[in-house]
Chain A
């Protein structure tokens, strides 16, 4: 990093791109300075499970060579980013935050990773997360917890907490997370950055380690909406390797990005402001943001999603049922960890399964596997799983009705501010209830974004969430950008600037 650009680490992709283009920095130097920065903060933040220094530096060198030859690939060429450990990377250990996958070296790249590599992005390493994306605090990682860059004693949210913390802390320009019930948006809100959960089927899930297949989506976490657009543009679109990925080509996300608030109809979801658990400061911050948009020319429309209070129940039945099946493959036969069973010729197969899975999975994953197995088991299937699917249909209908009245829904991302580490792990249901605002989108398969909406009185980030209909990502990002203009968006976290030699 050159002295002339001390804040580039906290800058945007376009800023880095300009610096690369005008020769004020090389990708090699930029990548090296990001690694140096990570070195300085990682002991406190722990946003990464592993770094991939040599390959990243090699890729940066290639990006510089392309630039010299005038063969630069696109907006992401030479830009250092990171990837949640839930997403497989060929040749680079991938664990999904679980002990059961420790040592697993994937023989292939996820589609999104392939696309990012093809776009010239530099992959720094793999971000920490809750084990198998099950959690809202990144405390359920087998590799230690991640801290919130705005207050190191607090959680960064989850499950993509490592991704959000890395991006907020200037450790790379963007990260890919996965969102099954809010795992991109909630940590983005907690860490004061932008997080997009695309429409189900917009981004290929091939290579995203499955938690709940009908809900999972990969999406970007970035410091600005424009950066999110660059990332989503690169990773989205049809993929013949994912049968649930839609055939529709990715539209241009940048052309309408700056269209502004004027003429937008923003739906204020009545039920979202009712729950007892909603922090009044968050409630007023979100309403304030909506009013700013109105002042900028948007129309606020009251809408109702009557089924919203039922979303958590439907979500936990669906997600755990699918997870119980998705996680059956971790059996100690083909990859990952097998429990020590002594002489395999004398060992018992069922004991091997039981020990391997009991030792390999953490308590939250076991809890969800058990709940999901229960929901699918004989005699309970109709009462739990099928019922949850019916509720899903209901929620989908409610969203369609709401979208007849407005272009985007506005509501909080999380009902609570980033909480202290250890504060909520004792009560799983309370942890689940905090997903109230993010979960319904996954059930309805629509797209959503969390945008930073300033800090609360304690200096902690607040996120505002917008939801748009299926395949309406251009509208979603336009609304998010209009909001960002009003709120000012991302602000580098003070504690990190104190830690980093390069910062400030």
Chain B
């Protein structure tokens, strides 16, 4: 079952993707098909299954608070689509 166009448009907005009307229609169909398939998980009894699949022995490593080299400013800006030599430049933030 296709999902609604509103849902597709809402999700596209969250993801900062612009879709044409035809793309919205296509995605509504395709996502619907995939979600119908995914619905097969509903047949499983999962209430007692922990969503945290990490083992108890796994722990987050922590690093020492020791400074590492930063990039020179020119390297930091090297890949920027737009910069003024000091800052990254973007359209105005309203």
Task: Name A residues whose Cβ lies closer than 8 Å to a Cβ of B.
Answer: 103-105, 107, 240, 243, 247, 307, 309-310, 312-314, 316-317, 324, 328, 331-338, 341, 344-345, 347-355, 357-358, 361, 366-367, 369-371, 373-374, 377, 384, 386-394, 396, 428-429, 432
Other-chain residue from B7, B16, B23 in contact with A353 (beta carbon distance below 8 A): B16
A393 to B78, CA, bound (A): 43
Interface contact A358-B17, CB-CB below 8 Å: yes
**Chain B min CB distance to A194 (Å):** 29
Other-chain residue from B11, B14, B79 in contact with A104 (beta carbon distance below 8 A): B79
Contacts A309-B40, A313-B37 known; list 11 others, CB within 8 Å: A240-B61, A313-B41, A333-B80, A334-B80, A335-B79, A347-B91, A354-B18, A374-B35, A377-B14, A390-B44, A394-B49
**Chain B min CB distance to A139 (Å):** 17
Task: Name B residues whose Cβ lies closer than 8 Å to a Cβ of A.
Answer: 3, 7-8, 10-12, 14-19, 23, 27, 30-31, 33-35, 37-38, 40-41, 44, 46, 49-53, 60-61, 63, 71, 75, 78-82, 88-94
List, in ascending order, chain A residues with CB within 8 A of B30's CB: 367, 428-429
List, in ascending order, chain A residues with CB within 8 A of B82's CB: 338, 344
A contact patch SS:
helix
List, in ascending order, chain A residues with CB within 8 A of B46's CB: 387, 390-391, 394
Other-chain residue from B51, B71, B78 in contact with A386 (beta carbon distance below 8 A): B51
Interface contact A396-B17, CB-CB below 8 Å: no
Using known A-B contacts A105-B78, A243-B60, A338-B81, determine if residue A316 contacts B34 with beta carbons closer than 8 Å: yes
A239 to B29, CA, bound (A): 43
Using known A-B contacts A391-B46, A393-B49, determine if residue A314 contacts B41 with beta carbons closer than 8 Å: yes
Using known A-B contacts A107-B75, A394-B46, A429-B33, determine if residue A341 contacts B40 with beta carbons closer than 8 Å: no
A393 to B45, CA, bound (A): 13
A344 to B88, CA, bound (A): 12
Indicate the member of A107, A358, A374 with the most B CB atoms within 10 Å.
A374
Other-chain residue from B8, B37, B78 in contact with A429 (beta carbon distance below 8 A): B37
A316 to B75, CA, bound (A): 37
Interface contact B44-A391, CB-CB below 8 Å: yes
List, in ascending order, chain B residues with CB within 8 A of A314's CB: 41
Interface contact A107-B16, CB-CB below 8 Å: no
Interface contact A352-B90, CB-CB below 8 Å: yes
List, in ascending order, chain B residues with CB within 8 A of A338's CB: 81-82
A345 to B27, CA, bound (A): 34
**Chain A min CB distance to B88 (Å):** 6
**Chain A min CB distance to B83 (Å):** 9
Interface contact B53-A392, CB-CB below 8 Å: yes
Would you list the 5 A-B pairs with minimal beta carbon distance, nearest first?
A: A335-B79, A338-B81, A389-B51, A347-B91, A354-B18
**Chain B min CB distance to A309 (Å):** 8
**Chain A min CB distance to B70 (Å):** 11
A390 to B79, CA, bound (A): 40
A103 to B79, CA, bound (A): 8
List, in ascending order, chain B residues with CB within 8 A of A386's CB: 51
Other-chain residue from A312, A341, A361, A388 in contact with B17 (beta carbon distance below 8 A): A361
Other-chain residue from A333, A336, A377 in contact with B90 (beta carbon distance below 8 A): A333
List, in ascending order, chain A residues with CB within 8 A of B12's CB: 370
**Chain A min CB distance to B7 (Å):** 7
List, in ascending order, chain A residues with CB within 8 A of B75's CB: 107
Indicate the member of A247, A373, A388 with the most B CB atoms within 10 Å.
A373
Interface contact A394-B16, CB-CB below 8 Å: no
**Chain B min CB distance to A31 (Å):** 29
Interface contact B89-A344, CB-CB below 8 Å: yes
**Chain A min CB distance to B36 (Å):** 9
Other-chain residue from B38, B78, B91, B93 in contact with A107 (beta carbon distance below 8 A): B78
List, in ascending order, chain B residues with CB within 8 A of A394's CB: 44, 46, 49
